[in-house]
Amino acid sequence: MLQDLTLDTLKQAATLFAKELSESPIPDFYGATDDKAIGAYIEQRFKLYLEELYVFVRGNADSIDLPELEVDFKATSTNQPQSLSPFKNASQKVYGLGYHLLIFVYSKTDEDSTRAANLEIKRTLFIKREYTADWQTTKGIIDILDLEGNVDDLVAFLEERNLPLDEIGRVALANRIIEKRPNLGYLTISNALQWRLQYSRAIQQAGQVVGIENLGD
């Protein structure tokens, strides 16, 4: 009988999956250079791995991967550790995406003798949702608050950071920040119709700061 999936068992499964995948040659990706396709393969294979062991609700194309646990999977190359995420609202750069991230950071090499690719998972990270905001934005906000800045200071800063907000939206977000101080985020989030998430800082800080767990190298 399959067990219910929890955050703890998810993390354990991710560690074991990363080891298993790293030891499994994959002929289909020999010579491949499409990082997006490789990342999608790793994410899909992990979902199938989980389905063999656990009971859980799987997300659809319009949602995150594990809606009940509020976790989304990302697989990204060590060459350029980044991915896209749906844009919900500008406050995600301040307060986080609203869900946890489970990230597999892989390195691909080709074995000519077997004409197969090796996808070695170099790092497996779990980033708590409270720490998935933009580093530069939250660092600036925290500095302003520490210097006893007010709403006007925050509005000016949000405008400088070019957050996708009008004047009314900036004032509303600034007032929210005064009432609820954000955590320091560890992602780099670029403005776009979809957020572009970059993970280099999170990879460097994994296991050293609150909110980013290093599940295995």
pLDDT digits (tens, 9 = 90+) for 25-60: 999 999 888 889 999 999 999 999 999 999 998 888
* 133, 183 contact by CB (below 8 A): yes
Average pLDDT over residues 156-169: 94
Average pLDDT over residues 114-134: 95
Q: With 90 as the cut, is the pLDDT of residue 145 above it?
A: yes
Q: With 90 as the cut, is the pLDDT of residue 130 above it?
A: yes
Where is pLDDT greater, at 216 or 35? 35
Q: With 70 as the cut, is the pLDDT of residue 217 above it?
A: no
Q: What is the DSSP letter of 213?
A: E
Q: State how far the Cα of 134 lies from the Cα of 27, in Å rounded to an integer.
A: 38
Average pLDDT over residues 127-148: 97
Q: In this predicted model, what pLDDT tens digit does every residue of 172-207 receive, in sequence order?
A: 999 999 999 999 999 999 987 678 899 999 999 998
pLDDT at 193: 64
Helices (H), 121-166: 135-146, 151-160
Residue type present at position 85? S
pLDDT at 178: 97
Q: In this predicted model, what pLDDT tens digit does every residue of 87-119 receive, in sequence order?
A: 899 999 999 999 999 999 999 999 998 999 999
CA 64, 67, 68 angle in degrees (round to 5)? 160
Q: Burial level of 155, CB count in 10 A (0-12/13-18/19+)? A: buried
Average pLDDT over residues 53-69: 90
Q: State how far the Cα of 41 lies from the Cα of 73, in Å rounded to an integer.
A: 12
Domains of the chain as residue ranges with CATH: 3-87+96-133+191-216 (3.40.210.20), 136-179 (no CATH)
